Amino acid sequence: MASSDAAVDDDEITFELLPFIRLYKSGRVERLIVNDAVPASLHDASGVASKDVTIDPATNVSVRLYLPPIAAAAKLPVVVYFHGGGFMVESADSAPYHRYLNALAARAGAVVVSVDYRRVPEHRLPAAYDDSWAALLWTLAAAARGSASPPEPWLAEHGDPTRVFLAGDSAGANIAHNRIRREWRFMTGRADAAMDDPRLSPASAGAAPALARMPAERVLVAVAGEDFLAAKGRAYHAALVGSGWRGKAELVETPGEGHVFHLRKPESEAAQRLMDRVVDFITRA
């Protein structure tokens, strides 16, 4: 009887958020977007090497590092990348992200740190923000002083701590902006957080003071014209420019393309043009 009840519980859906996840009464989580996992390796065509490093055994948070072929003493820009997926799906070893970041490391001549943060619903926010903040601090320590725990020779020998970029797509772009900001609705279990909360929508009313204080020198906002988040991207750029922030904000819009097209169609002309802009933004530093 108990076995039969357990089977029923495992089939009963208690929450569904399409196209991301289903939650079952048994506690099982079904992720509906699943890409092939790609192991870290040496990419023969580009010469980019990659490896996985666990930075916090207590939380099992890890990063995937990418190192392009370089001269032994070269110091390179560092790109800390946060993957998208609505805080619920995708990972640092997901095939689209591995392919994209391998190409970015090769094209930009940068050390790339791809953060594998904990995901909702098993780990509600601010876990993803906390993990990403920890990964950023670890990266800076490794590049600046070689004092990270665990130590990381790729960053100590080749990472330039004066040229650090935060990047991401979709939820990852939110993380890149917020880093360690917290709380909201389903992710936190709170029912009183609104979708115009400045942590979720940085261009919302009341966000200007925080934008004006943002400690970045330059920001590149990339928007796909047919993306359901396109309006938010444009509004973010406008809010940043109008906030009194002293940095330089650039907006690049790709008409006719949808959400994360650069991951879904990496060989397309549109994706290549966007890659050119991102590489230019990094190498101008």
Q: pLDDT per position in the chain (285 positions), as tens?
A: 455 555 667 889 999 999 999 999 999 999 999 999 999 999 999 999 999 999 999 999 999 999 999 877 789 999 999 999 999 999 999 999 999 999 999 999 999 999 999 999 999 999 999 999 999 999 999 998 777 788 899 999 999 999 999 999 999 999 998 863 333 333 344 444 444 555 555 655 456 777 888 888 999 999 999 999 999 999 999 999 999 999 999 999 999 999 999 999 999 999 999 999 999 999 996
Q: Which two tokens stand for residue 54?
A: 């666990």
Note if 170 is an active site residue: yes
What are the CA-CA distances from residue 239 to residues 169, 202, 203 (Å)? 19, 8, 5
Q: Out of 50, 114, 170, 243, which one is annotated catalytic?
A: 170
**What per-residue confidence (pLDDT) applies to 195?**
44
**What per-residue confidence (pLDDT) applies to 115?**
98
Is it true that domain 34-192 has CATH number 3.40.50.1820? yes
According to the 3-state scheme, what is the secondary structure of the chain? CHHHHHHHHHHCEEEEECCCEEEECCCCEEECCCCCECCCCECCCCCCEEEEEEEECCCCEEEEEEECCCCCCCCEEEEEEECCCCCCCCCCCEHHHHHHHHHHHHHHCCEEEEEECCCCCCCCCCHHHHHHHHHHHHHHHHHHCCCCCCCCHHHHHHEEEEEEEEEECCHHHHHHHHCCCCCCHHHHCCCCCCCCCCCCCCCCCCCHHHHHCCCCCEEEEEEECCCCCHHHHHHHHHHHHHCCCCCEEEEEEECCCCCCHHHHCCCCHHHHHHHHHHHHHHHCC
Domain ranges of the chain: 1-32, 34-192, 201-285
**What per-residue confidence (pLDDT) applies to 182?**
33
